[in-house]
Amino acid sequence: MSRSGQGFHYDRLQRGFHWLMAALIVIALGLGIYAAWQVPGTSPRRELLDIHKSLGLTVLLLLPLRFVYRLVAGEPAYRSAPSRSAHLAATLAHLTLYALMVLLPVSGYVYSAAGGYGLPWFGVFSFPRLVPVDKALSQAGYGAHYWIAWGFGILLGLHLLAVAWHAWIRRDEVVGRMWPRRVAGG
């Protein structure tokens, strides 16, 4: 699914979404892991989790915009096309990343909302509680959040291995597709 207008690079908006959301997610991952080691109810766990939730819910809000724009704009053309199986594997991996980018914040939301905990957005406002306060539901949300976070971490590791493989072993055009135009050339 490629569109002629886009050349060989993801356009500026797609790269903006990719790098902004990658930064938000990596910081959220780090804060989540760090906070999970702290004693509940103590400082700085509480404050770090407030930032964690704000970052995670920002990802959830940005994702539909990114996904719809991706469907409209398509993906850039290749100078030399990858094999069908390599392209299929990349597409499946990317679709799974998109799915986990929804499921991870949603499970965190259910965990916090059903647990009766706060749902802040950087102290500016609070998100509505759309599920009842229910201990069992909150526990299920936590279990899902924990395991989805592991799955996401593993897939992200594979994504970075694929990037390293394209950059240093195959030395092909793939990494340049998500890089600023002036670095990639053309």
Note whether 46 binds ligand HEM by CB under 6 A: no
Identify which of residues 36 and 137 has a Cβ nearer to ligand HEM in the complex: 36
Determine the Cα–Cα distance for residues 78 and 81; give it in Å rounded to an integer.
Answer: 5
For residue 185, the surrounding DSSP H or E stretch is none
Note whether 174 binds ligand HEM by CB under 6 A: yes
Q: Distance from CA of residue 15 to its chain's centroid?
A: 13
20, 99, 144, 178: which one binds ligand HEM (CB under 6 A): 178
36, 102, 144, 184: which one binds ligand HEM (CB under 6 A): 36
Roughly how many angstroms between the first and final C-alpha of the chain, as a whole number? 20
Note whether 156 binds ligand HEM by CB under 6 A: yes
Residue 125: phi and psi, rounded to 5, are: -155, 170
- CA–CA distance from 55 to each of 78, 94, 146, 152 (Å)? 33, 21, 17, 16
Footprint of ligand HEM (CB under 6 A): 18, 22, 25-26, 28-29, 32-33, 35-36, 49, 52-53, 56-57, 59, 70, 75, 90, 94, 97-98, 101, 104-105, 108-109, 111-112, 119, 145-146, 149, 156, 159-160, 163, 174-175, 177-178
